[in-house]
Structure 1
């Protein structure tokens, strides 16, 4: 490719991303998965990221550019929108296209011929493990791919913000202690756990999206011990406890045969996540029954205040820290850490108004609360 790469972070990160997709697709070819994507080489990765970066800094009629670029030929997608004439892959062209393709699920299709990349049209359907560059704000590029089974949020590979580069670390040693849906965010779940884990992923994404901040507590179905850590009375306690999300999951096979399950699931996830915007914590069981919202967390009688926890972020080069919960966030973070400290079979999901997202779980190995900072995975 003859064009000059002027965004140096693109050149820095391209070989790592090339190797990641080579390993990912190489392993997938040893399975029965069909409809796999084409591997992008480093030069292609550089060019797409570089062009996306410069487009992200532009505005179209005063609006920030939001685009998703997928690397694939038109033949590898279903029902593409094909342009009569190919368009060059340049920042001005992406800027002009942006208003028409900013809705979620629409990708600008890019392929190459004779060493030159071009835009062939748009699509809503891409193959498994397809290389995607997502731009949602100026200077922010998220490199991701469609999951092998096609279900749930795309798996992030790297995040570039200006000259900052964060590579997702799938081999993070902290994974030994992490809750199942964090491994789902990293693309490491087995088929048997994918649905359950991905529902919590979608809840996390939806909580972050409303930008009001919120807390979601996930408690075991078989016990009511969690009530010892909640201030009484609970004004918004729910009876009966079977939520729309729980009903949908119980009847997922029936809904899937209708072809309506994915859209119905999103509606129920957004409805439940919306409750977390109300002051206080939303509480659900581990089978998604809604128990309460707007609940106030208190320290259980006889328990000690949580004075230290371990904090990690699943990116390459991150070092584990031990902090007081008050040094990792505000009141929501402190109360969720205390709840998990007292109710060790529970999870606490906390979204901050600024986009920070943390999962609190109990670490049996470290015998303390473990705060997983995962906003990089939710972009």
Structure 2
């Protein structure tokens, strides 16, 4: 939705709050509008030459934790109250944002009986929330308050209900849906095809080492592992705020690769991690079966084996994380990061030499790029990085390109039949619906 304003975001959030049927006091529309107005204009403020980046949680100070779970984990959030309430203004938010890194902290805000907003404390342990969103952790718990709002850039607000991204206001554009192109549609098919190296290695491993396991039961796990890894790579590049591009191509035709390398560690680490996951599952399943049969203890050798596999799996996960960081940092050099179809990094700082440009491209508002979802655009309206990727993918139909803008926008490009299609507003983080998040309270 173009030409949107904070009031449009307020209306959307009000509708969502009503659907939740919460027993808590819900804010009036005027309160929500004031909240988003304040955050929107705060995003344009600077404190000590830095732009304001902050996350706030709308949470009642009189009852911040109305329904705590039965089992409290050590890393669960807590509220730390100030000795006095601070009026919520652009100035106070800019000042407090220096002490409230969004990666670890959220500001607790609420409203009085006259609808005036104030900051009353801080909420800790937010890094676990961010780790889950960015596929760095499989563990998640319920989030505090009614909802969270993150200010990530100038005029950019993200509204979360638990682990559900409700909407994003980007200056004057309200994004209510992110396209899951990595799991649905033609981009997903290409990505999964590029994971064949992983599937071939694991099929052989299962046949040789775990013949009682069915490969088909692990295929979905392997697809998910690769898609999560690729999402993490895109997110890591996005976080540099430098801009960058990834090209997956079968050859180096029309490419001038400034820094040629052969880095297959990411691919090998994925294979090792998948093997470790299967090994651990088999041993754990054996232990579980023994207990079902009435056995009351675990054999010493089995316990040692399970422990060894646990740490080996963790080690391979850390290796994947390190390989992702190694590759992502190469995006800070102007040019494209180049992968082959087996996801071996073959260089960075690559220049795309294709010159022929399509007269128009088609922007898809669905992951599947159905004919009705395609909107024609003039490619000349985009910047140099986008135009070079458009030209290359137009001339090389087997190529798949991703461009990450300095403002964090991620776009995908591929030629489907006779059309060059672009996808934007791509889902890269691990979102869940609020309802599913509540089922797994810790």
Shorter-chain TM-score range? 0.5 to 0.7
Structure 2 Cα separation of the partners of residues 256 and 39 of structure 1: 46
Cα deviation, residue 141, structure 1: 2.2
Contact 2:273–2:316 (CA under 8 A) maintained in structure 1: no
Q: Pick from 376, 387, 392: which aligns with 1:322?
A: 376
Q: Does 2:107 correspond to 1:108?
A: yes
Indicate whether 1:238 and 2:261 are aligned.
Answer: yes
CA distance in 2, matches of 1:147, 1:299: 41
Q: Tell me which of 121, 142, 145 is aligned to 2:158.
A: 142
Partner residue, 1:119 = 120
Q: Contact 2:231–2:428 at 8 Å: present in 1 too?
A: no
SS in 1 for 2:332: coil
Q: 1:204 aligns with which of 208, 229, 234?
A: 234
Q: Judging changes above 3 Å, is the alpha-carbon distance between structure 1 residues 238 and 146 closer, same or farther for their aligned structure 2 residues?
A: farther
**Bigger-Rg structure (1/2):** 2
Query: Is 1:247 aligned to residue 269 of structure 2?
Result: yes
CA–CA distance in structure 1, aligned partners of residues 272 and 152 of structure 2:
35
Distance in 1 separating the partners of 2:187 and 2:379: 19
- 2:94 matched residue in structure 1: 95
Superposed, which structure 2 residues align to 1:15-164 within 5 Å?
Answer: 15-20=11-16, 43=29, 45-72=32-59, 73-74=64-65, 78-83=76-81, 85=83, 87-88=85-86, 90-91=88-89, 92-110=91-109, 119-125=120-126, 127=141, 131-145=147-161, 147=163, 155=165, 157-161=167-171, 164=172
Looking at both structures, which has the greater relative contact order when contacts are Cα pairs under 8 Å and sequence separation is at least 6? 2
**Is contact 1:51–1:89 with CA below 8 Å preserved after alignment?**
no
Aligned length: 328
Q: Provide the rounded CA distance (Å) in 2 between the counterparts of 1:257 and 1:74.
A: 38
Q: 2:251 aligns with which of 220, 227, 235?
A: 227
342, 351, 354: which one aligns with 2:404: 351
Greater fraction helix? 2
CA separation of 1:354 and 1:103: change in aligned 2, threshold 3 A: closer
Q: Distance in 2 between matches of 1:64 and 1:78?
A: 29
CA distance in 2, matches of 1:21, 1:13: 12
Question: 2-side partners of 1:141 and 1:307: how far apart?
Answer: 34
Return the alpha-carbon distance in structure 2 between the equivalents of residues 53 and 282 of structure 1: 34
Contact 1:159/1:376 (CA < 8 Å) preserved in 2? no
Q: Per-residue deviation at 1:89?
A: 5.6
Asked whether the equivalents of residues 43 and 53 of structure 2 are also in contact (C-alpha less than 8 Å), the reply is yes
Residues 18-69 of structure 1, C-alpha deviations (whole Å, 9 max, x = no match): 435666x79xxxxxxxxx9x99766464353234235434443444322111
Q: Which residues of structure 2 form unaligned runs of 5+?
A: 69-74, 130-140, 190-219, 278-308, 367-372, 430-442
Once the two structures are superposed, residues 316-342 of structure 1 have per-residue CA deviations (whole angstroms, 9 ceiling, x without a partner) of: xxx954245344331x32332233234
Q: Calculate the TM-score normalised by the size of structure 1.
A: 0.66
SS at match of 2:107: strand
Work out whether residues 47 and 95 of structure 2, in 8 Å CA contact, stay in contact via their aligned partners in 1. yes
What is the CA distance between 1:286 and its match in structure 2? 5.8
Pairwise CA RMSD = 4.7
| In 2, Cα distance between equivalents of 1:178 and 1:64 | 38
Task: Indicate if the aligned counterparts of 2:57 and 2:148 stay in contact, CA closer than 8 A.
Answer: yes
Q: 1:202 to 1:171 in 2, by over 3 A?
A: closer
Distance 1:375 1:139 in 2: 19
Describe the shift of the 1:82–1:199 C-alpha distance in structure 2 as closer, same or farther (beyond 3 A): same
Q: Is 1:358–1:375's contact at 8 Å kept on the other side of the alignment?
A: yes
In the alignment, which residue of structure 2 is the partner of 1:184? none
Partners of 2:251 and 2:8 in 1: CA distance: 50
| In 2, Cα distance between equivalents of 1:156 and 1:260 | 35
**Residues 215 and 282, structure 1, Cα contact 8 Å, conserved in 2:** yes
8 Å CA contact 2:180, 2:427 repeated in 1: no
1:360/1:372 contact within 8 Å kept: yes
Farther-moved stretch of structure 1 (257-266 vs 354-363): 257-266
Contact 1:109 1:123 in 2 (8 A): no
| Residues in 2 aligned to 1:39 and 1:347: alpha-carbon distance in whole angstroms | 49
